[in-house]
């Protein structure tokens, strides 16, 4: 099963709708609650990152019997130092993003913690693609 969602730059009012849709879908499919939680927390963090930092993008989700693969691809500034970005507490979030309750520097660490596989391709001035896999077995 394949699903796609668009991400609009700075649209915090609708932020989380893609993750919410995926959560409902996984519930309907009977996926175990702990796996739903891991999946949607990772996707939600990636969705928020793309809205907060990038200029728009797209989420592609593929679900089969044993796993979910989520690809969040944005057109944005890219991540100049990925090692730093993976550290807990390191953040470049704007004051507006912080007012929304984000920018604690926990986004990428949370994604790493909740996924079985994580791949981040980033190029400064071009964008970032985050590929996350969660196995349900």
Partner 1 sequence: MTIKDIAKLVDGELVGAPADDSYDVKKAFASDLMSDVLRFSMEETVLITGLCNNQTMRTSEMSDLRVVLIGRDKQPDEDMLELAEDLDITLIKSKFSVFKISGILYEAGIKPLY
Residues that bind partner 1 (CB under 8 A): 12-13, 15-16, 19-20, 23, 33, 37, 40-41, 44-45, 100-107, 110, 113
Which of 67, 113 has the CB closer to partner 1? 113
Nearest distance from C-beta of residue 102 to partner 1, angstroms: 6
Residue placing its CB nearer to partner 1 in the complex, 77 or 105: 105
Residue closer to partner 1 (CB basis): 36 or 73 = 36
Q: What token pair was written down for 80?
A: 């100049």
Least distance to partner 1, CB of residue 135, Å = 19
64 Cβ contact partners less than 8 Å away, ≥ 6 residues apart: 1
Cβ atoms of 62 and 4 within 8 Å: the answer is no
C-alpha span between 100 and 83 (Å, rounded): 25
The residue among 33 and 125 lying less far from partner 1, judged by its C-beta, is 33
Cβ 13 to partner 1, closest distance in Å? 6
d(CA 134, CA 118): 9
Return the number of the residue (87 or 126) whose C-beta is nearest partner 1.
87
Q: Which residues contact 52 (CB under 8 A, 6 or more apart)?
A: 10, 93, 94, 97, 100, 102, 103
Q: Whole-number minimum distance, CB 64 to partner 1, in Å?
A: 23
Q: How far is the CB of 112 from partner 1 (least distance, A)?
A: 12
Cα pseudo-dihedral 31, 63, 13, 78, rounded to 10:
130
């Amino acid at each position: 099963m394949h699903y796609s969602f668009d991400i609009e730059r700075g649209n915090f009012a609708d932020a989380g709708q893609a993750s919410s849709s995926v959560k409902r879908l996984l519930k309907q499919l009977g996926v175990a609650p702990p796996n739903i939680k891991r999946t949607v927390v990772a996707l939600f963090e990636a969705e928020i990152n793309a809205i907060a930092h990038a200029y728009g993008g797209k989420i592609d989700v593929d679900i089969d019997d044993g796993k979910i693969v989520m690809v969040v691809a944005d057109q944005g500034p890219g991540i100049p130092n990925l090692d730093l970005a993976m550290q807990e507490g390191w953040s470049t979030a704007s004051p507006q993003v912080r007012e929304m309750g984000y920018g604690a520097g926990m986004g990428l660490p949370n994604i790493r913690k909740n996924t079985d596989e994580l791949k981040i391709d980033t190029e400064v001035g071009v964008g970032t693609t985050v590929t996350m896999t969660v196995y349900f077995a």
